A and B are shown apart, each in its own frame.
Chain A
Amino acid sequence: MRESEGGDAHTAVILNPGNFRLPDGYKPESGHRQHQKSFTSTRTALHRGHRIKIKTTYRIEIDDEPLALHTMVLDNGNVHCHGLPNYSFPSAIDLAKSIIDAASLASNEVDEIGDSTGVDHHEADQRGSRDGDKEEDQ
C-alpha cells in the first residue's frame, strides 16, 4: 500500500488490514465470498391468538443471470433488495425493472483489477436464507 503523497493524514489509517475490525455479529459465510442465488425471508404475525408464518423465497434472474444481492419481503408485502438499499417495491417485477435501470449506471468494459483468487463465484447453486430456514418452493 503506497503512502499517499497528495492525500491527507487520515488516509494513512485507511486500508491497513491490521487496523480493520469486523463488526460484532458478522459471520463470514463459509468459503470465499459465496454466491447466493435465492433468498428466503420469513414473516410472522399474531392474529386473534393464532400464529401466522409466511416464508417467501425469491430467485430473480435477469437475462438468465441471478440477482445476487439479498432480497426479502417486508411485513407490508413490499419487496426489498440490497442492490437498491433504500427502495422497496410493490412487486418483484418492479424491483427487477429498477435493478435493470440502475445497472445501466454501472457499465464497465475493462477489468484490470478483477478478483485474482481463481475462485469461481458462480460455481454451485448456493441456497440458503439468513434465518437458517430451508428454502421452500413457492
Chain B
Amino acid sequence: MAAIRENILASLQVRDKFLDAMIALDEPNSGVMASDLAQFLQTNNLPLQMSGREQELSSYDLFIFWHVLAMSMPLAVGNAAHSGPIFLPWHRMYLIRLEEMCQEVLEDANFGLPYWDWAADGELPRQNQWRTDLWSSAYLGEARGAVRSGKIGQIQVRLVQNPQTGVLLSVEPRPVIRDSGRSSLAPTLPSEARVAAALDQTIYDRQPWNENAIGHRNELEGWIQGPQLHNRVHVWIGGDMGPGSSPNDPAFFLNHCNVDRIWEEWMGRHGRIYEPGRNRGPQGHRIDSQMVAVIGNALTPEQVLDPSQWYAYN
C-alpha cells in the first residue's frame, strides 16, 4: 500500500512522525565518517572538495552530501539536480529515499512525507507569514535565528557548503539557522497566482532547457521573474536554506514535497509527459538519463514519472 502524503498543518500525527523521524535520522551513528566522504570524492575524481572536522555523520547528513554532490556536477545545462529538466524528477527520487529511511526508523511502512502548502501562507499579510504555527516549537521551531526550541531544536548541522569556495565543510555541530522574511529578494512567500501560472503551462520544458526556458519546470523551479515558487521559498527562509547544503533545514523537505505535489497536479491536468525524450535535448536531463544517487538505486525520470508505487497525495 502506497504512503499518503499530507499537509503537515492538517495532521498532528503526520507532523509528530515527521519530526521524530528527523531526530532519529540526525543521530550521528551512520558509521560514515567525514573522512570517508572526502575519500569517496577523491576516489571518484569528483569536483567537490571537503575539509574540516573529522566526525561521525548521521544518515541525515548523507542527504546533505548527496545534494551538494549532485549540484557540483555541471551538465550541458544546469547541473545534475537543478536548472534543467532533471530538477523535478531528481528531487522526486531524493524525497523517495528520505521517505524510505523515515519509514524504516519509524517502523511504519505507510508513513508519507508531509508537505507545506506555502502558497496558502503566501496569501497572509507579510508580517504574519513567519509567525504561523509552522514556525512554533510544536512544528519547525524559530523562523529567525538559531532553531533551539521544539524537536527541530535537537537537529545538528554538521556539513555546510561554503558559497564562496564551494568546499563542503565538516563543522562543529550547531543548530539550524533561519532568516525568514528578511530578504529583499523575497519578502513574501509564493502566491497562489504564481502556482496557478505554473499549472497553466502546457509544456513541461523546452529549449534552451535552462533558467531561461518557458515551461512548467522552470516556472516551478522559480527562475522566471525569480525568485518564485521553489526558489522563493529557499530565499524567503534564508540562513541554511541558502547554500547548496540547504537540506540541513528540514523545511527543505516540506518545500520540495509541495513542489513535487504541484508537479503531480500538473501531470494530472496535462498528462504524464516529460521532455526531453530519448536521444534529444541535453544529456543527463533526458527521460532515460540515470540520475545521480548515493543512497539507494539510481533511477531515471521515466521510472519516477508515476510515483504511485511509493506514494500519493491527499
Measured CB to CB, the residues of A under 8 A from B are 1-11, 13-15, 17, 20-26, 28-29, 32-33, 62, 65, 67-70, 74-76, 78, 80-89, 98-100, 102-103, 105-117, 121, 130
B164: Cβ under 8 A from any A Cβ = yes
Contact of B242 among A22, A74, A87 (CB under 8 A): A87
- CA of A78 to CA of B227 in the docked complex: distance in angstroms? 11
Q: Are A23 and B292 in contact (CB under 8 A)?
A: yes
* Residue of A whose beta carbon sits closest to that of B168: A106
With a cutoff of 8 Å between Cβ atoms, the chain B residues found around residue A82 in the complex are 71, 79, 166, 244
Which residues of chain B (142-200) have a CB below 8 Å from chain A? 160-166, 169-172, 177, 185
Q: Are B164 and A68 in contact (CB under 8 A)?
A: yes
Which residues of chain B (187-235) have a CB below 8 Å from chain A? 211-212, 222-223, 225-227, 230-231, 234-235
Q: Are B169 and A13 in contact (CB under 8 A)?
A: no
Q: Taking A6-B30, A99-B164 as contacts, is the C-beta distance between A26 and B243 under 8 angstroms?
A: no
Shortest A72–chain B CB gap in Å is 8
B110: Cβ under 8 A from any A Cβ = no
Shortest B111–chain A CB gap in Å is 14
Shortest A107–chain B CB gap in Å is 7
With a cutoff of 8 Å between Cβ atoms, the chain A residues found around residue B31 in the complex are 2-7, 11
Q: Are A102 and B163 in contact (CB under 8 A)?
A: yes
Q: Are B242 and A113 in contact (CB under 8 A)?
A: no
* Residue of A whose beta carbon sits closest to that of B296: A10
Q: Taking A25-B282, A102-B242 as contacts, is the C-beta distance between A111 and B51 under 8 angstroms?
A: yes
Shortest B261–chain A CB gap in Å is 19
Q: Are A80 and B49 in contact (CB under 8 A)?
A: no
Shortest A68–chain B CB gap in Å is 5
Which residues of chain B (229-265) have a CB below 8 Å from chain A? 230-231, 234-235, 239-244, 246
- CA of A116 to CA of B42 in the docked complex: distance in angstroms? 9
- CA of A114 to CA of B37 in the docked complex: distance in angstroms? 11
Q: With contacts defined as CB atoms under 8 Å apart, how many contacts are there between chain A and chain B in the complex?
A: 223
Measured CB to CB, the residues of B under 8 A from A are 27, 29-40, 42-47, 49-54, 59, 62, 71, 73-76, 79-80, 82-83, 97, 100-101, 104-105, 160-166, 169-172, 177, 185, 211-212, 222-223, 225-227, 230-231, 234-235, 239-244, 246, 282-286, 289-292, 294-298
With a cutoff of 8 Å between Cβ atoms, the chain A residues found around residue B240 in the complex are 105
Q: Are B243 and A84 in contact (CB under 8 A)?
A: yes
With a cutoff of 8 Å between Cβ atoms, the chain B residues found around residue A116 in the complex are 42
With a cutoff of 8 Å between Cβ atoms, the chain A residues found around residue B76 in the complex are 25
* Residue of A whose beta carbon sits closest to that of B245: A106
Q: Which 6 A-B pairs have the closest CB atoms?
A: A25-B283, A4-B31, A6-B29, A83-B163, A86-B234, A25-B284
Contact of A23 among B97, B242, B289, B294 (CB under 8 A): B289
Q: Are A112 and B62 in contact (CB under 8 A)?
A: no
Shortest B243–chain A CB gap in Å is 6
With a cutoff of 8 Å between Cβ atoms, the chain B residues found around residue A99 in the complex are 163-164
Contact of A105 among B177, B282, B286 (CB under 8 A): B177
Q: List 30 A-B contacts (CB under 8 A).
A: A2-B31, A5-B31, A6-B31, A8-B101, A9-B104, A11-B62, A15-B294, A20-B294, A21-B298, A23-B75, A23-B284, A25-B289, A32-B45, A62-B164, A65-B165, A68-B166, A82-B71, A82-B166, A86-B230, A86-B234, A99-B164, A105-B239, A105-B243, A106-B169, A108-B169, A108-B170, A108-B171, A112-B53, A115-B38, A130-B74
Q: Taking A11-B30, A111-B51, A111-B52 as contacts, is the C-beta distance between A22 and B243 under 8 angstroms?
A: no
- Knowing that A23-B284, A83-B166 are A-B contacts, what are 13 other residue pairs whose CB atoms are under 8 Å apart, sorted by A's residue number? A1-B32, A4-B29, A4-B32, A20-B294, A23-B73, A24-B286, A69-B164, A86-B227, A87-B242, A88-B211, A88-B223, A106-B171, A113-B38
